[in-house]
Amino acid sequence: MGKTLLTYVITIEPKVTPIGSWEIIINALTGEVLSARDKAYYYNGEDEKQGNKRHRKEFIKRKKSTVNGSGFVYETDPLTATLNVYGGQYVDANDATNPALDAARSSVTLLDITQTGGEFFLTGPYAEIQDFEAPNKGVFSQGTSVFNFNRNQDAFEAVNVYYHIDKSMRYYNETLGLNVKPYQYNSGVRVDPSGLSGADNSHYLPGSGRLAFGEGCVDDAEDADVIIHELGHGIHDWITNGATSAYLGEGNGDYLAASYKRSFAQWSPSDASYDFMFGWDGNNPCWPGRTTADTRSYPNGLIGLQGGAAHFDGEMWSSTLMEIWDIIGREKTDKAFIEGIAMTNSNTNQEQAAIAVRQAAIDMGVAGGYTCEDIQVFTDRFTARGYNLPTYTCTLSVAAFETKPIVMFPNPTKGALTFKNLTETYNISVFNMLGQKIKNHTLSTSQNSLDVSHFASGTYFIKFYGADTVLKFVKQ
């Protein structure tokens, strides 16, 4: 039998070489280092371990406020935005810009950035640009809230990362109503858009809950697939309280990235790029990228965890989830996925995760918007892949599924809200986050809108009297 040792387990994330999130196991009696393992999650499977020095300004004594700014980004990358393929003017060319790549940018609103005195920072409730890995380029604060840059300028990647992470985290927490936040700190997701000593890789650091993006070949922070994939590693960590499974992590990240990109409805299913993962950063001379059109069967198609095989095996998991996505839509698939993965642990395999995701949809049921037909889609697609699921028969009554909850759109909104499935006249009240009543109103089948254009930006609740219904919306 093996000998039991008293040990210390510590995590360090060096400022200099070797960068990473290192788990060190030390013999508590002798001080001998028993093992040292980099636990960071890298999106393309090649663990680049180089270092940096932190260089960050703190403005503790100056008054802070939040404002909405604006900036140029790629939605979701220059090829997807313009429906082009890699080549011609649409190439990296050592980070050079040109008229075609400039025209591929979109001007977007940067929500809730921080103003400190006369300086504006890409720091908000859901994302925060930091500088904790080499090359040290700062946090790109400036004296205006307009962050208009091109890809040849380092600040462009910072704006791109802030926008896509902020948008995604708002969606998970506000649109889906989930609690998806880092447990390592109480602020927006901390991210360095120029890290890994410039290597062609990116990673999530579980010790500190931070993300960093490399700059080799195409800058990783120019491609939303890379950004959301790494955010996906964070989400996996946060919702399982650190109990991540190596059998799921890469597929989880690819799924969330694919779900995000496909929600923009840019590529059509007949396009070869429809299923590309890392369509700008990869699928080109830089590296092959991955796909969500994998056809292998579980478990015979598995390779294992050696080398970069976890990334390859993850294609089976992400491809199956995207098959479900294409049938029942983004919100239902995403919510069942996140709620299901939250029930997994460090030993969960793909089959067990499939059971958990379907069970999450079953548990949410009609109140969560899931019909018997939706549950059957989970069953059919998971079973077709080879996952062995317990037998389940939907027993909810037809009447229950015919009951349509009151819904409103658009949410978030800048002007008016429109309500669907109103069957009578409703007296409603709008409350702010402090519980203060802001407005009374009456809705009916003929008067089904509410003007909130004069409301301050923020989160509000609408109470329907006599209907046992409370809805939440965000005013931009």
Q: What is the pLDDT of residue 398?
A: 46
Q: Please, which residues have CB within 8 angstroms of residue 440's CB and are 6 or more apart in sequence?
A: 427, 428, 429, 430
**445-455 pLDDT tens trace:** 889 999 999 99
The confidence band for 52, taking pLDDT boundaries of 50, 70 and 90, is very low
How would you classify the pairing of strands 7-12 and 22-27?
antiparallel
How does pLDDT run across 255-303, given as a tens digit for each residue?
999 999 999 999 999 999 999 999 999 999 999 999 999 999 999 999 9
Q: What is the pLDDT of residues 88-144, one digit of tens each?
A: 999 999 999 999 999 999 999 999 999 999 999 999 999 999 999 999 999 999 999
pLDDT of residue 2: 56
- Which residues lie below 8 Å from residue 9, measured CB to CB, with a gap of 6+? 23, 24, 25, 26
Q: How far apart are CA 35 and CA 318, in angstroms?
A: 32
What is the distance between the alpha carbons of residues 408 and 114, in angstroms, rounded to a whole number?
30
Least confident window among 53-62, 182-191, 244-253, 465-474: 53-62
pLDDT greater than 70 at residue 57? no
Q: Are the beta carbons of 79 and 86 closer than 8 angstroms?
A: yes
What are the helix (H) ranges across 342-459? Answer: 350-364, 372-385, 398-402
The least confident of 27-41, 122-136, 462-476 is 27-41
CB contact burial 259-296 (16+ within 10 A = b; e otherwise): bbbbeeebbeeeeebbbbbbbbbbbbebbebbbbbbeb
**Alpha-carbon distances of 94 from 135, 200, 218, 248, 340, rounded to whole Å:** 16, 12, 8, 34, 41
CB atoms within 10 A of CB 440: 10
- SS3 (DSSP) at 455: coil
pLDDT at 60: 37
Statement: residue 389 has pLDDT above 80: yes
Which residues are within 8 A (CB) of 380 and not within 5 positions of it... i.e. 6 or more apart?
A: none
**Mean pLDDT, the chain, integer:** 91
Give the model's confidence band at 436: pLDDT under 50 very low, under 70 low, under 90 confident, else very high.
confident
Contact 62, 116 (CB under 8 A): yes
Output the pLDDT for position 48.
36
pLDDT for 469 equals 86
In this structure, the dihedral spanned by the alpha carbons of residues 15, 19, 20 and 23, taken in order and rounded to 10 degrees, is -80
pLDDT tops 70 at residue 462? yes
DSSP for residue 134: S
- What element of type H or E holds 211? strand 210-213
- Amino acid in the structure at residue 74: Y
Global pTM value: 0.75
Give the mean pLDDT of 187-212.
98
Res. 156 pLDDT band, cuts 50 70 90: very high
* Residue 159: its H or E element: helix 154-170
Q: What is the pLDDT of residue 443?
A: 94
